[in-house]
């Protein structure tokens, strides 16, 4: 019997909630791709919404964009779940 592992995305300790994305995946690689994409998007939105920064996201050097994205990516977590087996053996 094959045990399916489900990978679920969490953000800031809570299950990630995005109406345009699924949060559960059957492969960790798929979940990681979503985390990378969402981290980039959230970093851009959070940076653009911060009044302390005068220049826009796309005016930032690529190195700084990557730093913001990595900080955002650290807030994501992928947790794997294995279905519970009912019964004996």
Task: Give the number of domains in the chain.
Answer: 1
Question: pLDDT tens-digit profile of 4-50?
Answer: 889 999 999 999 988 888 889 999 999 999 999 999 999 998 888 77
In a domain, 17, yes or no: yes
Question: pLDDT tens-digit profile of 50-80?
Answer: 777 777 888 889 999 999 999 999 999 999 9
In a domain, 58, yes or no: yes
If you ran DSSP here, which 8-state letter would residue 87 be given? S
Please say whether the beta carbons of 71 and 42 come within 8 A.
no
In a domain, 86, yes or no: no
Residue 63 confidence (pLDDT): 95
Q: What are phi and psi of 48, to 5 degrees?
A: -65, -30
Q: How far apart are CA 11 and CA 85, in angstroms?
A: 28
Q: Based on the number of CB atoms within 10 Å of its own CB, is 35 exposed (0-12), middle (13-18) or buried (19 or more)?
A: buried
3-class secondary structure, 36? helix
Angle at 42 between CA 69 and CA 7, to 5 degrees: 85
Residue 51 confidence (pLDDT): 72
Domain that holds residue 37: 6-81
């Amino acid at each position: 019997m094959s045990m399916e592992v489900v990978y679920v995305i969490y953000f800031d300790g809570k299950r990630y909630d995005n109406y345009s994305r699924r949060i559960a995946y059957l492969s960790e690689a798929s979940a990681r791709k979503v985390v990378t994409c969402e981290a980039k998007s959230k970093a851009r939105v959070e940076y653009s919404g911060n009044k302390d920064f005068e220049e826009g996201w796309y005016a930032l050097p690529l190195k700084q964009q990557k730093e913001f994205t990595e900080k955002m990516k650290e807030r994501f977590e992928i947790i794997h779940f294995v279905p519970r087996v009912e019964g004996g053996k």
